[in-house]
Structure 1
Amino acid sequence: MRDAAVGFHCPDCVAEAKRTTRSARTTYGGLRPTNAALTSMVIIGINVAVWLSILVTGGSGSRLLDYLELRPRGFCDLGQGLINIQVGQATCTSHGATWMPGVADGAWWQLVTSEFTHVQVMHIAFNMFALYVLGPQLEMVVGRARFLAVYLISALAGSALVYAVGPIYTPTVGASGAIFGLMGALLVVLLKMRVNPQGILVWIGINFLLTFTVSGISWQGHLGGFLGGVAAAAVLVYAPRGPRRTTVQVAGLVALSAVLVVVIALRTAALT
């Protein structure tokens, strides 16, 4: 890794980005960013703002957290660790209990907001550091709009797998799905560039090892995000060169998003 004004740069990624210096486009068709760290810094700012909002409104007991975290199905919180999964929101609130909304009950926004939500300091610190390191490298090679598309598709893919096969009453938060997506995307880029991917493979290996050996970590979110990032990056870097490359890339990313929407819709139908 090479120190930069903001974040760190992979020397091979720098070389690839400079290969067509006179072009206003990146290697894979995106507009060349003047500041490759800008998007990552904005995303970091959003995550920190959400974390601070949760912190000042009660931390793990924040009502804001109840609305932002990903919960496949809602339930009635009776307090003192007791819940009721048989009643709906109206009955729950009419008896003075607290309703915890879920995606299947209409809280679809949780599929996205949960990827910008953190409670623990170490959780947000690790995720934002990873974004700070990995994000600028990918944006430098694919451009800002394409980088943002990879990030959001990875985030949605992580949430979709959590929603599809995760525990239906266990809340999930964190940008880890999107971060794993960036790892997967960088792996695809390096393989396409025929560059030794050893560095990113070490990152991926360590993080998956922690995912499956440390309790309390959502392997569904990590795996889903990784696969989403791999698929999105493959669409971008393997699209044929030429005047229709952007059209092919957009169509591919839309198709990936449509698949995720179908998975979410099928799971919602099953839960309701």
Structure 2
Amino acid sequence: MLNIGMFVIEILVGGAGSISSGPPGDKLLNLGALYPPAIATGHQYWRLITAMFLHAGILHIALNMYALYLFGYLIEGAFGWRWFLGIYFVSGFLGSVTSFAFGPALEIGVGASGAIFGLLGAWVAFNYRRRSNPLASANLRWALMLIGLNTLLAAGFHGIDWRAHAGGLVAGAAAGWFAEGLVPGPDRVQRLSGLVGIVALVVLGVALVAWRVSSFPSVPGLWPPVFG
């Protein structure tokens, strides 16, 4: 619902033309889009979270919301709603971090794709643990096929942030593995070890942000941007 609510705000702010391709860049920045100079120079780290609730047009949000409905249902059923939320936000955060750390320095980024790829990664981890079961094995093959297809799409279309997809996918797979515990033992021990794993992912993300900020090119005028 938050994604849809933000899309309505995008239309109100950017006008009817925003429906097809999203608001202009300056409007997206005002709403919280990911923009590396704003993070590295302006220290607006919250953009690593807010960007995942913005979308560049109706097709973008429609595809992401369909995927969220599909994988959200599967992940909530597999892990429960608390872990679903944890996997979603950690994957979205790491997807944004990967885009910020390794992507172009002047590219605006929006979308929930990193978080959604994280759900797909968690589904891979869940079924890999159970791969001796025929249904889980089939689910695993299906998920890997989707990853392969999306990799081909990312290679063939400009504007797809494959770094955010990859970061979210890896983070989600790790979080999905952590969700069922890292060490054998009672349920409490397994849950605690899983939480330790999630915290480690967040710490890794913070470390990548710190590295990118420290190595970001010092060029006057990158932030704030000037729009003609």
Alignment of 1:47-196 (within 5 A): 47-58=3-14, 59=18, 60-61=23-24, 63-67=26-30, 68-73=32-37, 102-104=38-40, 105-194=42-131, 195-196=136-137
Whose Rg is larger?
1
Counting matched residue pairs gives: 200
Spell out, residue by residue over 1:166-191, the C-alpha distance to the aligned partner (whole angstroms, 9 max, x if none): 11111011001111111111011011
Partner of 1:97: none
Q: Would you say the 8 A contact 2:52–2:115 is kept in 1?
A: yes
Gaps of 5+ in 2: 219-228
Q: Would you say the 8 A contact 2:181–2:191 is kept in 1?
A: no
Spell out, residue by residue over 1:15-72, the C-alpha distance to the aligned partner (whole angstroms, 9 max, x if none): xxxxxxxxxxxxxxxxxxxxxxxxxxxxxx1001101101111132275421311000
Alignment of 1:220-239 (within 5 A): 220-239=163-182
Partner of 2:209: 264
Partner of 2:2: 46
Q: Would you say the 8 A contact 1:183–1:226 is kept in 2?
A: yes
SS in structure 2 opposite 1:107?
Answer: coil
* Cα separation, 2, equivalents of 1:208 and 1:179: 14
Which structure dedicates a bigger proportion of its chain to strand? 1
Alignment of 1:230-249 (within 5 A): 230-239=173-182, 240-242=184-186, 243-249=188-194
TM-score by length of 1: 0.71
Q: Which amino acid aligns with 1:261?
A: V
SS in structure 2 opposite 1:167?
Answer: coil
Over aligned residues, Cα RMSD in angstroms? 1.4
* Cα separation, 1, equivalents of 2:156 and 2:74: 29
Alignment of 1:194-209 (within 5 A): 194=131, 195-196=136-137, 197-209=140-152
* Cα separation, 1, equivalents of 2:56 and 2:8: 9
SS in structure 2 opposite 1:237?
Answer: coil
